[in-house]
Amino acid sequence: MSHGSGGRAMAQLIGELFQRYLDHELLTLGNDQALFTPPPGRLVMSTDGHVISPLFFPGGDIGSLAVHGTINDVAMSGARPLYLAAGFILEEGFPLGDLARIVESMAQAANAAGVPVVTGDTKVVERGKGDGVFITTTGIGVVPEGILISGDRAEPGDVILVSGSMGDHGVAILSKRENLGFETEIRSDSAALHELVAAMIAAVPDIHCLRDPTRGGLATTLNELAHQSGVGMQIREDAIPVRSEVAAACELLGLDPLYVANEGKLIAICPPDQAERLLAAMRAHPLGAESAIIGEVVEDPHRFVQMETGFGGSRIVDWLAGEQLPRIC
């Protein structure tokens, strides 16, 4: 593959590739934009650049991840995602076969989610100036009437739920990238969560906060929410679902699964009297079958996220400046 204006043949190849897999009518029209009439309601929009090594991993690849990540960011407002846009930056020399796999996977993810890619762009950069392929996806969606979900709405007394096990994605990526060879293969949880969200909203319209604990994991996301809402959070270590193989891998690697990324899980915060109902709705959905109540929002001027440990102690789950750096002298 060559780059720049000279790569007309290549651009045509890519064009064909996208046409073949991403065959939504708006895209195949061949315009530089997608034209549509939005349904009534408030629109939300989100964009996310996807950079990942390795590009292919157990449970997904950069293509499906780019679709799921943006759908989830849109859905965490309570919105129904409508359309996606995708921008590709390819490094010169990137194997066409891999690209085809990625585009196909992207198409499958978008189709399965019912959220089509309706416009896109591709650029090729010189060899050495990119890392294979980067994909930026933008999503647009519409929030149903009466739904107000925001990171600043957590109130003391609210209940904190998660939709399933923590840390799968990050450990899957790491073990594939570094070829760690754990006994059990750990798969990424990459998934589109908007249908789970729709089911949750249908059961409990007054959800206060939703967020997907991606980079930095559960711990970082809870700290963000605590900070935004000006509250503390009290969670219970025993209640947080972590797959045993993920826990074992994390112990071996010295990582805390609460700081490890997820791509198919969400955190929900709702009033206490709605929690059981919400939990039931989450568990009824296949992507929330292992949902759990993990703690409560509390009043706390320090905005600590604190965790009752298995030993009955209470540890501060901090926002880390960078990587997980030892602190014990």
Binding site for another protein (CB under 8 A): 174, 178-182, 251-255, 302, 304, 306, 309, 311-316, 318, 320-329
* CB-based contacts of 51, cutoff 8 Å, min separation 6: 131, 134
Closest contact distance (angstroms) between CB of 312 and another protein is 5
* Partner whose binding site includes residue 25, from Mg ion, Fe ion, another protein, none (CB under 5 to 8 Å by kind): none
- How many other C-beta atoms lie within 10 A of the C-beta of residue 138? 19
C-beta of 78 vs 232, nearer to Mg ion: 78
- Confirm or reject binding of residue 329 to Fe ion (CB under 5 A): yes
| Helix ranges, the chain (H) | 8-21, 25-28, 62-75, 96-113, 168-177, 194-203, 217-229, 244-253, 275-284
C-beta of 70 vs 119, nearer to Mg ion: 70
Q: Site residues (CB under 5 A) for Mg ion? A: 48, 73
Closest contact distance (angstroms) between CB of 183 and another protein is 9
* Partner whose binding site includes residue 253, from Mg ion, another protein, Fe ion, none (CB under 5 to 8 Å by kind): another protein
Coil vs helix vs strand at 216: coil
Q: For residues 227 and 201, give the distance between their C-alpha atoms in angstroms, rounded to a whole number.
A: 24
Q: Are 235 and 294 in contact (CB under 8 A)?
A: yes
* Partner whose binding site includes residue 16, from Fe ion, Mg ion, another protein, none (CB under 5 to 8 Å by kind): none
Helix, strand counts (H, E) of the chain: 9, 13
Closest contact distance (angstroms) between CB of 210 and Mg ion is 13
Closest contact distance (angstroms) between CB of 329 and Fe ion is 4
* Partner whose binding site includes residue 48, from another protein, Fe ion, Mg ion, none (CB under 5 to 8 Å by kind): Mg ion
Q: Are strands 314-316 and 305-308 parallel, antiparallel or unpaired?
A: antiparallel
